[in-house]
């Protein structure tokens, strides 16, 4: 019997498994399909900066703790597995193509309150940094501490490290029921087996809601489709991550450029669409006109676990003494995965959590008209 059974083998579940295994906990991970091939594999690997020492909101502290952990995790995974996850500090720009020149001042001030370096730049300064930008750009925010990682490589490294540490990985095993007795989960039932454990962690992304409803808890997690396009341009016309609102361009050192991402509430439909792909290509050309001549390599999509208020669900599931949830991170699953893993490890081992769990608790939906923190 495993000490902990983790349901879901994406970046959250696999990070939790590796973190627990490093602290002497025996772990089994169940995944309904192939490990890490849903939202975790599909993302662009953007890691925004953060500062846990200054941040006051638990979400921002979680981001700051992850920011602190990423370099060490990446180096340790590379040493253990020989897999380079592509973590690097490339910097980033948040730009606007129209409107007043002071429209990013509030955002810069918010970053400044976290003691994160953020500088508002005018058109000429932006074009000095990235000459390929659309010359009509009116203003930008420079975040020199923004980093990136290559999702598939990171997942491969996590799986290899977890396996070496003795984590049992069971793919193609969708959990159909959590077997419970008097508020205590005794097993996770799949089609052909019951997986017994001491504690259970549901980290099933967009599929989490289905499992927890049967446990009397209805977390507001819905699948949100995100489509991404991959272009190729050698040499790279720009080196920093370029964002405009919810969309972005991510340059890889090998000449590939990721263009994302759509946000579509279409249920569990994961197909790419002509409209989505065409819109992303137009967006890329608008930000960097020279990308009109870039090569088209491929496109894909993933189902991100979006919550109603933009906050993940982290912590105990009400009415159960050995059931935890870690899901609903939406677009922040990768960036928040190290700190989420540490937080879950602390809960499993009865240690003080690194952040307050109040904003992340499962029953916060009852306070939707009260002091629910805004999405970050």
Kindly tell me if the per-residue pLDDT of 289 is higher than 60.
Answer: yes
User: What is the per-residue pLDDT for 364?
Assistant: 87
Separation between Cα atoms, residue 82 and residue 347, nearest integer Å? 30
- 3 state SS of 260: strand
Tens digit of each residue's pLDDT (9 = 90 or more) over 77-98: 999 999 999 999 999 999 999 9
User: What is the per-residue pLDDT for 374?
Assistant: 32
Separation between Cα atoms, residue 173 and residue 38, nearest integer Å? 15
Mean pLDDT computed over 293-317: 96
Kindly tell me if the per-residue pLDDT of 24 is higher than 80.
Answer: yes
Computed on alpha carbons and rounded to an integer, the radius of gyration of the chain in Å comes to: 21
Tokens of 25: 């906990």
Domain boundaries, the chain: 2-85+150-220+310-367, 89-146+223-307
For domain 89-146+223-307, the CATH class is alpha beta
Against a cut of 0.85, is the pTM above it? yes
Strands 323-327 and 194-202: parallel
Kindly tell me if the per-residue pLDDT of 371 is higher than 80.
Answer: no
User: What is the per-residue pLDDT for 365?
Assistant: 59
Task: Give me the chain's average pLDDT, please.
Answer: 94
Q: Residue 303: phi, psi to the nearest 5?
A: -105, 105
Domain 2-85+150-220+310-367 CATH (choose: 3.30.70.250, 3.50.50.60, 3.30.390.10, 3.40.50.300): 3.50.50.60
Contact 87, 74 (CB under 8 A): yes
Kindly tell me if the per-residue pLDDT of 370 is higher than 60.
Answer: no
């Amino acid at each position: 019997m495993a000490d902990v059974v983790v349901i879901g083998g994406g970046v959250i579940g696999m990070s939790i498994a590796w973190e627990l295994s490093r602290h002497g906990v025996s772990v089994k991970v169940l995944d309904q399909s192939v490990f890490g091939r849903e939202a975790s594999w599909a993302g662009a690997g953007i890691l925004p900066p953060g500062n846990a020492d200054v941040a006051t909101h638990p979400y921002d502290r979680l981001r700051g703790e992850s920011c602190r952990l990423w370099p060490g995790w990446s180096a340790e995974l590379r040493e253990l597995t020989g897999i380079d996850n592509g973590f690097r500090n490339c910097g980033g720009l948040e730009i606007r193509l129209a409107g007043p020149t002071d429209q990013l001042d509030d955002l810069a001030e918010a970053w400044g309150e976290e003691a994160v370096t953020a500088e508002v730049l005018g058109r000429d300064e932006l074009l000095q940094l990235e000459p390929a930008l659309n010359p009509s750009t009116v203003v930008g925010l420079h975040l020199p501490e923004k980093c990136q990682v290559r999702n598939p490589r990171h997942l491969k490294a996590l799986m290899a490290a977890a396996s070496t540490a003795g984590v049992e990985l069971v793919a193609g095993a969708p959990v159909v029921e959590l077997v419970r007795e008097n508020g205590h989960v005794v097993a996770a039932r799949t089609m052909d087996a019951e997986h017994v454990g001491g504690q259970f962690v549901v980290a099933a992304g967009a599929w989490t809601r289905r499992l927890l409803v049967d446990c009397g808890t209805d977390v507001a997690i819905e699948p949100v489709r995100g489509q991404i396009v991959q272009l190729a341009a050698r040499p790279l016309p720009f080196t920093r991550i370029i964002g405009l609102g919810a969309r972005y361009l991510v340059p890889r050192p090998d000449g590939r450029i990721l263009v994302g991402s759509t946000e579509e509430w279409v249920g569990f439909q994961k197909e790419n669409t002509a409209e989505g792909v065409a819109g992303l290509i137009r967006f890329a050309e608008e930000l960097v006109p020279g990308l009109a001549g870039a090569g088209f390599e491929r496109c894909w999509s993933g189902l991100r676990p979006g919550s109603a208020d933009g906050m993940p669900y982290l912590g105990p599931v009400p009415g159960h003494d050995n059931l935890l949830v870690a899901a609903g991170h939406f677009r922040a699953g990768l960036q928040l995965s190290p700190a989420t893993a540490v937080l879950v490890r602390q809960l499993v081992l009865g240690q003080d959590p690194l952040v307050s769990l109040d904003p992340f608790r499962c029953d916060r939906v009852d306070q939707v008209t009260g002091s629910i923190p805004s999405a970050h």
